[in-house]
Each structure stands twice: as C-alpha cells, then as structure tokens.
Structure 1
Amino acid sequence: MKPKFDDTYQHKGLRRQLIQLLREKGITDETVLDAMNNIPRHFFLDSAFDKIAYEDRAFPIGEGQTISQPYTVAYQTQLLQVKKMEKILEIGTGSMYQSSVLAEMGARVFTIERQKKLYDQHGSFVFKGRYPNLKFFYGDGFEGLPAYQPYDKILITAAAPFIPPKLVAQLKTGGMMVLPVDEGENQRMLRLTKMEDGSLAEEAFEEFSFVPMLTGKNR
C-alpha cells in the first residue's frame, strides 16, 4: 500500500480527466461519477503506480488479483442503481476501491474477501475509517453472508461460472444482482432482478474480462 496518503492537485486533476473519459465512454449516472471523483484511486495501489493510477486500466494488487479498470467499476455500479441506505453485499473486496465507491454513495456495504492476505491488509488501511457504513468479512463468496440477509443489491466483482443460488436466496424480492457470468476469457455482464415468485428477470449487457470467482477461502 502507498505509505503516504497525499491527494495532490495533480492527483485531483488526473481524476477529473478520468471522470470526463468515463462520461465519453457512456457512463451517465452522475452520482457514480461524483463518488469516483471523491475517491483517490492512488490510495488503493502500490506507490509504484502513483503516476499512472488514473489511467483507465486494471492493475495488479497481489494474490493474483487486480483493482478493476475504472470503466468497469463505473459500469457495474451504474447497473446496480445504488440508493442511499441500501444494504449491498459485495463479493470480492479486492483492493477495497469498489467497496469504497458504494460506501461513498451512501450504501451500507457488506463485503467478502476470500484471500486472507488481502483481507488482513484491509484492517490497517487508513482510508477505511472514512466509511463506518463499510463492513469487511473473510469468507467464501459463494456462501454470501446469510446472517445479514436480505440484501437490496448484490455485486459480484469476479467471473462467476454460474449464478450462485445461495446469493439469490439472500437477495430480497425486487432486489438486483449485477455479476459477470461464464468461464473463459470473456464474461457477459448480467443484471438480475428477483421477482415475487422467486424467479429471476435477466438483462444482458456488454462483455468484460474478470479474474475467476473461486470457492472456499484461501489462507
């Protein structure tokens, strides 16, 4: 993690340029863009990436994981239609950047990380003190967090080989789940809405490439 948490005029200027780029690429939800403009992405990366932190691309964060491309973060968040005080379950904490975007938007975020080393890093990350509405858990994303169900929204930030049934069960009626589905190089981005009879209304969007969603916990 970056040892000094300085958000300079240069960082803020680069962030504004990134937000404009996201607008040009089709992101229209200004609440999403405002949240991302308020969050210093370079805080979530090793200091070696400081000068390129605001490029629209993914970067490695260790344990075979990445911090997602800003466009991907904005795209998934826009699909989720986040509202203040909604209870959102995130599968795959990773760098904590996506979690922070949801929390910045006023959601109550419950986020699960299966990589123990990444999970342990979250405990000492100074920026997390900004969000008392953000709760971290070490566990298996396929199992979800049944103790805190039902959730208004669920966001999966890794490539799911199938729609996890236990997560569907933890989603409230009328709730939405956004996730990339399929094995292989590219995944379909889906938005699922849980109907009153428990069935799912499915909408398919663009293709993306994510690291795979794996079962179990990794120590």
Structure 2
Amino acid sequence: MEVRDDFRHKGLRIKLVQHLRSKGITDEAVLKAIGTVPRHLFMESSFIKFAYADKAFPIGAGQTISQPYTVAFQTQLLEVERFKKILEVGTGSGYQTAVLLELGGIVYTVERQRELFLKTQAFLPQLGYKAYFFFGDGYEGLAAYAPFDRILVTAAADKIPQNLVLQLKPGGRMVVPIGNDKLQTMTLIEKTAEKDIRITEHGTFSFVPMLPGRVS
C-alpha cells in the first residue's frame, strides 16, 4: 500500500472537490473533508492511480470503496455536526469513516467482514483517525451505545431497518439506500419524535447489498 501523501495527491483532491461542486455538492465542510482525506491510502495497490477518479473500486471481501460523489452526497444529506454520535453501518475501507471524523463526529462503526474490520481497525489510527470499531451484524446496530444522533448505512437494504430506527435519537437523521440488488433510492429518515419519522427520497444509486450476520 502506498503510504505517501504528497503535493500531487493534494492537487488531485482539489480537482476532485471542484468536480463534486460541479455535480451539486454544496456543503463546504463536506467538500473540505473530501479534500483532506487521502483516498489513495484506502485503495488496493492495483487501483491507486485511479484513486481520485469519481468511481467505486473493489477493496476485497466482495466490497467496494464508494464513489466520491456518493460519499459526499450521503454525508451532506446526513448533516454531520461536531461531537455528535454517529453510527456507521459498513466500515468497509474506512474512507467514509475518515470523512465523518474529519467533520468532527464521534463515530461508532460496524463491519460484518472480519478481514475488513481488522484491516481498518489497525489502519485508521495510523492516519490519526480515532473511531470505535465493532465486528458485528449491521442490522443489529449497537443498542448498547444508542441512541445516536446520526446513522449512516453504506450498503443497500431492501427496506428500512427498523432496528436501526429504534437506535436513532429524536431529532436524529438516518441515511440509507433502499431497494433491490441493482438500484436503490437514497432515503433520509428523520426522527421527529420518539415514535414518529419523516421519510424523504433523494435520487438513485447503486450499492453492494446489506447482508445479515458476520463473516469470519
């Protein structure tokens, strides 16, 4: 894995941020975070030279590192605030985790693939990113640490995960792609009261499926 982050990489991130802005990302804090996190360090070596292309790439264990636009869109929709508790379902490469941390969130992240869990748990602290890592079933969430101000699901669920809604604090926001195994609708769930939610839809995306259980 490449461990350098030089002026060339920073220049590529500036271009990526300009591209994201042209596609409608307006949250300057999100753009700054994307412009700060060294995405190439989260990539498999064979894809590093494409790290700042606006595309998703494989990371192993049948998973992908999401397209930067998708990361920016989800994060903008989530409305991250400093020192708010965030549950991330699907740690993956840790890139989205790092973006949430750059925004000042307190991140609890769950990964069902042991290979990715161990890799990211060891790697993120090397870059100075401190999250709470858990090897577990994302559908179960982290009830022991609930409620959360924000919940971000980075895989496609076939319906709204009610167990996660229960772990969302009143006034909180959850962003989750909902749909079949090919296309999903980015869905925002706002918990307006303890038992009331408001659901809005925000465009079509494509994610790997959200699966139950753990893979050792």
The TM tier, using the shorter chain, reads over 0.9
2:3 aligned counterpart, secondary structure: coil
**Distance (whole Å) between structure 2 residues aligned to residue 29 and residue 199 of structure 1:** 27
Aligned to 2:181: 184
Number of aligned positions between the proteins: 216
Aligned to 1:166: 163
- Structure 1 stretch displaced more, 120-129 or 78-87: 120-129
For 2:204, the aligned partner's letter is E
**Distance (whole Å) between structure 2 residues aligned to residue 167 and residue 209 of structure 1:** 21
Residues 94, 124 of structure 2: 8 Å contact kept: no
Q: Which runs of 5+ in 1 are unaligned?
A: none
Aligned to 1:135: 132
2:8 aligned counterpart, secondary structure: helix
User: How much is the aligned-residue C-alpha RMSD, in angstroms?
Assistant: 1.1
TM-score by length of structure 2 reads 0.97
Q: Cα deviations across residues 42-85 of structure 1 (Å, max 9, x unaligned)?
A: 00012222211000000000011000000000000000000000
Identity %: 53
1:142 aligned counterpart, secondary structure: helix
Report the Cα offset of residue 129 of structure 1. 5.0
**Distance (whole Å) between structure 1 residues aligned to residue 166 and residue 79 of structure 2:** 20
Aligned to 2:9: 11
Report the Cα offset of residue 174 of structure 1. 1.0
For 1:192, the aligned partner's letter is I
TM-score by length of structure 1 reads 0.96
Aligned to 2:48: 50
1:195 aligned counterpart, secondary structure: strand
**Against the structure 1 CA distance between its residues 127 and 57, is the aligned structure 2 distance closer, same or farther, given a 3 Å change threshold?**
farther
For 1:136, the aligned partner's letter is F
Aligned to 2:197: 200
1:167 aligned counterpart, secondary structure: helix
1:147 aligned counterpart, secondary structure: helix
Aligned to 1:156: 153
